[in-house]
Amino acid sequence: MLQEYIPLAMLIGLVVFTAVAIIGLSHITLPERATPTKKTPYESGMPPLGGTRGRFSVKFYLIAVLFIVFDIETVFMIPWGVSFRQLGLFGLLEMLVFVVILLVGFIYVWKRGALEWN
Amino acid sequence: MIPAYVDLSEASGLLVALLPEVFLTGWVLLLLLVVAWQHRSAEDQQLVGRLSLAGLVVTLALVILYWLRGPEPEGLELMIALDGFRYATAAVFLIGAILAVAISMHYLRRESILVPEYYLLILLATIGMMFMGGGADLVVIFLGLELMSVAVYVLAGINRRSIFAAEAALKYFLLGAFASAFLLYGIALIYGATGTTNLTLVYVQISAMGLQTDVMLIAGIAMLLVGFGFKVAAVPFHMWTPDVYDGAPTPVTAFMAAAVKAAAFAALMRILVQALAPMDSVWTEAVWWLAAITMVVGNVIALAQRRLKRMLAYSSIGHAGYLLVAVTSGTDLGTAALLYYVLVYTLMTVGAFAILTVVGRGGERDTRIDDFNGLGSRRPWLAFAMTVFMLSLLGFPGTAGFIGKWYILSAAVQADQFKLAVVLVGASILSAGYYLPVIMAMYMKDPVSDTAHVETRAVGAVRWVIGVTAMLLLLFGVWPNAVLDLAKEEGRQLRPAVLVTVSR
């Protein structure tokens, strides 16, 4: 039974080896010349804007949570769409129930003003 | 109208079997639309409260209809059970929810909490509970538990102005999520050992595959017990209880102490009896110790409390211990005792918290037992009702609490657990040390000032809740036969389906 997992173990080993090898090799071969630019978290990215523990408006979290709900809807919809023919009428009704429940939630969220920024 | 048999492997059969739950869910969706337009004034909130009450009453009627002449399963009980235990527990949760909504109506207005979603969350939590008491599959029970828990986390923190409510909600959320993880891991391990999550099939597989000493299964049961230990607030998993019960708005505390705890016990009892009966040598010992420690610790710490809300929180821990004694026995009588005690416990706990909402103010955290001084002379009926609740919680003869406790005792004795029975009696005697001072304060001490208790007035639905619960407790105390017979009959139904079929 355990032999079935050998390819998985090999994959894990390969991944770990590659990661260690890349970081290790560059660590050994590259000369270290520390400049202020090199020490920033993203050397060729945006300059950082202050500390990571800053506070954000709670509205961001609300939007994020609402996004998850509709994101998950898509996660359910795609496999449903792929196997729509096999599921038939039953599948259609099930999805309708799901969408109606979600729709009620959406109307509620909209009317309650959770989508407005102010 | 209702078919005599339903096939639970078909969607239409499931729909028939789940009619009460489906109705309540549809009602919540409708109310959500009502709230979307009507959420600005206290009157809107009152309207949502009344509609919620109506929905709960109709669901209770549906549950009772199913109870009387519900469909029988054709073949295996997949996903949802169709037995008396489901209907009996669902009725208890609905009664708890109805009482909680009734005491909330005036309370929310008085404490100026304007969140009409409050009632929807109670309804959603109740749906979750109904799935916990009725699930025939570990996954359904877990989903019910999550639906209930998430709704109650929000309810605990519904008063956004109170930092104690925020603390309660956060604490409850973090520890509750932790407990859910334990429970889910336990379910995963049980699935890993038996290859199924259906309660009846788990039972069959344990016997068929000879898993009585399987380490994975035993580890799964241990995880399951830890998860449920958190949810029912059994010592040593009780640390969150006092702060959460203390910080939440009092009607929510009543709902948590009564219905949420009852739901966790219903699910635990069903899993242990229906799926894990062949493993009773493993879990009986563990639950035995949980019960003994919970009874002693809960009651001893309650003795030291001066504030009523916290005292009731610790008392509810002690009562979880009594209910665990009924679980430990694992017999039909134990199930019957659990059912009866859960009903009685719901009535007396909600009653006691209802009085607390009347006497206290501003979240009731600071209402001390001394604040009840002289209530007997100023508000005799209220004091009388409080006396009934305290005596019933204590288990005094003549109240329903006595019958319930006596029944749990006889279940323990019948299962040859004499030591546990002795601990139960000892813990009950100890509990007199904190229930009786409340009665003494009301009748034997003078009011603190001339203006004391002027504001103490039971208004509207609260008056009905207090009156009805107190009267029912007295009624079940002197004439318990009808409810007891019902509990006995449903207790017999909670067996592995295989055995039920054999005994028919």
Position B5 scores a pLDDT of 83
Tell me what pLDDT residue B409 has. 94
Element (H, E) at B246: helix B240-247
Is the Cβ of B4 closer than 8 Å to some Cβ of chain A? no
Chain A contact for B39, CB < 8 A?
yes
Alpha carbons B491 and B494: distance in angstroms, whole number: 6
**Rounded to 5 degrees, what are φ and ψ at B137?**
-140, 140
Of A90, A105, A111, the CB nearest to B37: A111
Of the two residues B360 and B316, the one the predictor is more confident about is B316
Nearest-Cα residue of chain B relative to residue A90? B11
Q: What is the pLDDT of residue B242?
A: 93
Cα separation, B133 vs B269, whole angstroms: 9
CA distance A62 to chain B (A): 15
Q: Could you read off the pLDDT of B420-474 as tens digits, one per residue?
A: 999 999 999 999 999 999 999 999 988 877 777 877 787 888 999 999 999 999 9
pLDDT at position B216, please? Answer: 93
Tell me how many domains chain A contains: 1
CA distances B46 to B113, B248, B300, Å, are 12, 20, 40
Percent with pLDDT over 90 in chain B: 72
Closest by CA to B45, choosing from B166, B164, B158, B167, is: B158
* pLDDT, tens digit (0-9, with 9 covering 90-100), for B15-71: 889 999 999 999 999 999 999 998 888 899 999 999 999 999 999 999 999 998 878
Q: Please state which of the ranges A92-96, B272-276, B456-460, B473-477 shows the lowest mean pLDDT.
A: B456-460
State pLDDT tens for residues B132-154: 999 999 999 999 999 999 999 99
Cβ distance A108 to B39 less than 8 Å, yes or no, reads no
Specify burial of residue A73 (Cβ count, 10 A radius: 0-12, 13-18, 19+): middle
Substitution target from B32, B117, B147 for chain A, most A beta carbons within 10 A:
B32
Q: Is B68 on the interface with A (CB under 8 A)?
A: no
* Mean pLDDT along residues B311-329: 95
Q: Which pLDDT value is given to residue A63? A: 87
d(CA B373, CA B379) in angstroms, rounded, equals 11
Pick the residue of A100, A112, A115, A116 with the most B CBs within 10 A to test the interface with B by mutation: A112
pLDDT band at A74 (very low <50, low <70, confident <90, very high): confident
| Cα of B33 to nearest chain A Cα, Å | 6
Task: Kindly indicate the confidence band of residue B1, based on its pLDDT and cuts at 50, 70 and 90.
Answer: low
- For all residues of chain A together, what is the average pLDDT? 86
* CA–CA distances in Å: residue B135 to residues B12, B102, B217, B304, B458: 17, 28, 20, 39, 38
CATH number at residue A84: 1.20.58
Contact criterion met (CB < 8 Å) for A104 and B37: no
Contact B36 A111 (CB under 8 A): yes
pLDDT exceeds 70 at position A90: yes
Neighboring chain A residues of B35 at a CB cutoff of 8 Å: 108, 112
- Name the closest residue on chain A to residue B37, using Cα atoms: A111
The verdict on residue A117 lying in a domain is no
Q: Is B14 near chain A, with CB under 8 Å?
A: no
In-domain check, residue A45:
yes
- pLDDT score, position B504: 38
- Quickly state the pLDDT bin for B218 (edges 50, 70, 90): very high
Residue B498: band (very low, low, confident or very high) from pLDDT cuts 50, 70, 90: low
Helix (H, G, I), strand (E, B) or coil at B268: helix
Using a CB-CB cut-off of 8 Å, the residues of chain A touching B32 are 104-105, 108
Residue B33 has its nearest CB partner, among A90, A94, A107, at: A107
Task: Give SS3 for B72.
Answer: strand
Q: What is the pLDDT of residue B9?
A: 80
Instruction: State whether A101 and B29 contact (CB < 8 Å).
Output: yes
Based on C-alpha coordinates, what's the Rg of chain B?
22
pLDDT for residue A118 is more than 60: yes
Instruction: Determine the distance from the C-alpha atom of residue A72 to the mean position of all C-alpha atoms in its chain, rounded to a whole number.
Output: 12
pLDDT digits (tens, 9 = 90+) for B159-174: 989 899 999 999 999 9
Domain that holds residue A32: 2-111
Chosen for mutation from B29, B34, B115, B120 (greatest number of chain A CBs closer than 10 Å) is B29
**Which site among A87, A92, A104, A115 would you substitute to test the B interface, given the most B Cβ atoms closer than 10 Å to its Cβ?**
A104
| Distance spanning both ends of chain B, measured CA to CA | 26
Does residue A116 sit within a domain? no
Q: Which of B461, B241, B457, B466 is nearest to B360 (CA)?
A: B457
pLDDT in the model for residue A117:
80
Q: What average pLDDT does this structure show over A69-92?
A: 88
- According to the model, what pLDDT value does residue B499 have? 57
Look at B11 and A107 and tell me if their CB atoms are within 8 Å.
no
Share of chain A above pLDDT 70, in %: 99
**Cross-chain CB nearest to B36 (options A90, A100, A108):** A108
pLDDT value at residue B83: 87
Let me know: does B194 contact B286? Beta carbons within 8 Å.
no
Give a yes or no: residue A118 inside a domain: no
Domain assignment present for A25: yes
Chain A and chain B share a number of CB contacts under 8 A equal to 20
Chain B window 296-315: which residues touch A at a Cβ cutoff of 8 Å? none
Average pLDDT over residues B333-357: 94
3-state secondary structure at position B85: helix
Strand, coil or helix: B135? strand
For chain B, give the percent of residues with pLDDT over 70.
98
Q: Chain A within 8 Å of B33 (Cβ-Cβ)?
A: yes
Model pLDDT for residues A4-39, shown as the tens digit of each residue: 889 999 999 999 999 999 999 988 888 777 787 777
pLDDT at position B227, please?
95
B32/A contact by beta carbon, under 8 A: yes
Chain A residues with a Cβ under 8 Å from any Cβ in chain B: 90, 94, 100-101, 104-105, 107-108, 110-112
Residue B503: band (very low, low, confident or very high) from pLDDT cuts 50, 70, 90 = very low
Taking 90 as the threshold, does the pLDDT of residue B489 lie above it? no
- Residues in chain A with CB shorter than 8 Å from the CB of B29 are 100-101, 104
CB contact under 8 A, B33 and A105: no
Q: Which of B263, B162, B269 has the alpha carbon at shortest distance from B225?
A: B269
Q: What is the pLDDT of residues B281-305, one digit of tens each?
A: 899 999 999 999 999 999 999 999 9
Cα nearest neighbour of A105 on chain B: B32
Chain B residue numbers touching A65 (CB-CB < 8 A): none
Q: Looking at the domain assignment, is residue A30 inside a domain? A: yes
Give residue A1's pLDDT band: very low, low, confident or very high (50, 70, 90).
Answer: low
Closest CA to B318 of B340, B343, B342, B299: B299
Q: Which residues, 6+ apart, have CB-to-CB distance to B441 below 8 Å?
A: B369, B370, B372, B373, B375
Query: What gap in Å lies between CA B312 and CA B416, rounded to an integer?
Result: 31
pLDDT over 80 at A50, yes or no: no
With 90 as the cut, is the pLDDT of residue A113 above it? no
pTM equals 0.90
Mean pLDDT of chain B: 91
pLDDT-derived band at B502 (thresholds 50, 70, 90) equals: very low
CB contact under 8 A, A112 and B29: no
**Percent of chain A predicted with pLDDT > 90:** 31
